[in-house]
Each structure stands twice: as C-alpha cells, then as structure tokens.
C-alpha cells in the first residue's frame, strides 16, 4: 500500500470529520445569523437616523418588511429599491441590508454578498460598515476561504460594540477549519469578557461543552 494512497485516505477522513462537525454546529451559526438579521431589520428605528428622516420612509420600510414576511419577495425587493433611490443615506443603507438578506434567503447568494461587500466599504456610518462585515462573514462561511474571513473579523475584535460577536464568528470559522483547539480557546475568551451579552455567553458555554465531549 503506497504512502500516497494512505495520505489520500487520511485526507478524506479528515474532510469527512470536518463536514460532520460543521453540520453539528451549523444551527448555532444560523441562530447568530438570524439574531443579527432581526437586529438589522429593526435598525431603521435607530434614534440618530429616525430624527433626521421623515416618517414616510420609515413607513415604507415597515411595509417592505411586511411584504417579505408575507413571502411576496419580488414586491418587497421593489419597495426596498424605491427606498434606496429616494431615501437618505441611513434609510438607503438599511434598505440595502434588508435587500441583501432577502436575496440570500431566496438563493441569490452572490448578489446578496456583493451588497454587503459594497456596504462594508461605502456605508455612511462605521456601525453599518461593521454590521455589513459581520453579515458577509456569516453568509459566506461555506463559500469563502476561512483565512480570508478570519482577516475580515480581526479588526472588529478591537471594537467595544462588536468584539464579542467578532470572537464568536472567529470561533465558528476555526470550527469550519476543524481547528477545535483554537475554537475552544476563542469561546473561552468570550466567557472571560464581562461585557458579553448573556445569550452569546450561553452559546459559548454550550459550544465549549460540546467540544469537550
């Protein structure tokens, strides 16, 4: 039996183990994604922007979200595009984020990711740019090089607002690479943070227990 054959078998086994692990932790990634998308959907009511925009745009956005909930996706996308065309920077950014999430949910992943990449560079506010980075990373974990994604979240680790979320994403990316040791250490770092949200700390604790089994 050749060494090359043994090496190929070993690589296949490692890949199978990586896939099995990823399938087990995927529900956690989905829960993170849903939480941030829900947060983003409501972000239009962020105080600094609602004070600067008229109620009509807020109503239009709410109507677009309702159309999406009713699964009238085409109408929702048209409504969001209308907000982008006539809205101020804040509302236009929110509309773009919602459009990206709808496109991704409905299988048009590349277009959705392209919107996040554009917002990551050009959004009016740093908070929006950071959210775009987070949402891009979450939704491209099965498509992008993990090392590239690690580089994307690295700047967010210095953010007072997004550090815990960045660390959680970092841990999941390590799991995608089947690097359980680094993932566990990163989840532990989350638990050591006093400012981590309770839901995030709970997920980190659950993941540590899962990885120790």
Is 31 in the same domain as 99?
A: yes
The answer to whether residue 135 sits within a structural domain is no
Which tens digits make up the pLDDT trace of 165-175? 889 889 989 98
Q: Which two tokens stand for residue 186?
A: 């990163």
Is 121 in the same domain as 23?
A: yes
88 pLDDT band, cuts 50/70/90, is: low
CA distance 67 to 64: 5
Is 99 in the same domain as 174?
A: no
Is 13 in the same domain as 110?
A: yes
- The number of residues making up the chain comes to 213
Is 89 in the same domain as 22?
A: yes
Which tens digits make up the pLDDT trace of 108-126? 989 999 999 999 998 878 8
Given 75, 97, 128, which residue is the final one in a domain? 128
Higher confidence at residue 52 or residue 150? 150
**% the chain with pLDDT above 90:** 17
The answer to whether residue 138 sits within a structural domain is no
The boundaries of the domain holding residue 199 are: 145-213
pLDDT of residue 22: 52
Is 18 in the same domain as 102?
A: yes
Is 102 in the same domain as 30?
A: yes
Q: Which two tokens stand for residue 129?
A: 């740019």
The answer to whether residue 173 sits within a structural domain is yes
Is 150 in the same domain as 190?
A: yes
Other beta carbons within 10 Å of 116: 24
**Which helix (H) or strand (E) segment is 196 a member of?**
none
| Predicted structure pTM score | 0.74
pLDDT of residue 72: 87
Burial of 14 (0-12, 13-18, 19+ CB in 10 A): exposed
Is 17 in the same domain as 112?
A: yes
Please report, for the domain that includes residue 202, its CATH number.
Answer: 1.25.40
pLDDT of residue 110: 93
Domain count, the chain: 2
Contacts of 71 (CB under 8 A, 6+ apart): none
Per-residue burial over 172-193, b if 16 or more Cβ lie within 10 Å, else e, is bbbbbbbbeeebbebbebbeee
Helix, strand, coil fractions of the chain, as percent rounded to 5: 85, 0, 15
């Amino acid at each position: 039996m050749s060494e090359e054959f043994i090496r190929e078998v070993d690589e296949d086994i490692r890949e199978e183990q990586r896939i099995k692990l990823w399938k087990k932790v995927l529900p956690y990634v989905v829960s993170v994604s849903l939480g941030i998308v829900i947060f983003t959907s409501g972000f239009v009511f962020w105080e600094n922007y609602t004070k600067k925009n008229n109620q009509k745009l807020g109503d239009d956005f709410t109507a677009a979200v309702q159309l999406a909930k009713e699964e009238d996706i085409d109408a929702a996308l048209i409504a969001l595009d209308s907000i982008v065309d006539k809205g101020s920077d804040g509302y236009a950014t929110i509309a773009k984020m919602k459009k990206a999430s709808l496109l991704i949910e409905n299988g048009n992943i590349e277009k959705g990711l392209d919107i996040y990449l554009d917002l990551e560079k050009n959004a009016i506010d740093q908070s929006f740019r950071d959210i775009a980075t987070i949402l891009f990373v979450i939704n491209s974990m099965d498509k992008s090089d993990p090392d590239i994604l690690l580089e994307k979240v690295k700047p967010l680790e210095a953010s007072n607002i997004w550090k815990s979320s960045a660390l959680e994403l970092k841990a999941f990316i390590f799991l995608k690479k089947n690097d359980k040791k680094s993932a566990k250490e990163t989840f532990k770092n989350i638990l050591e943070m006093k400012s981590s949200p309770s839901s995030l700390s709970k997920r980190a604790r659950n993941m540590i227990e899962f990885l120790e089994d």
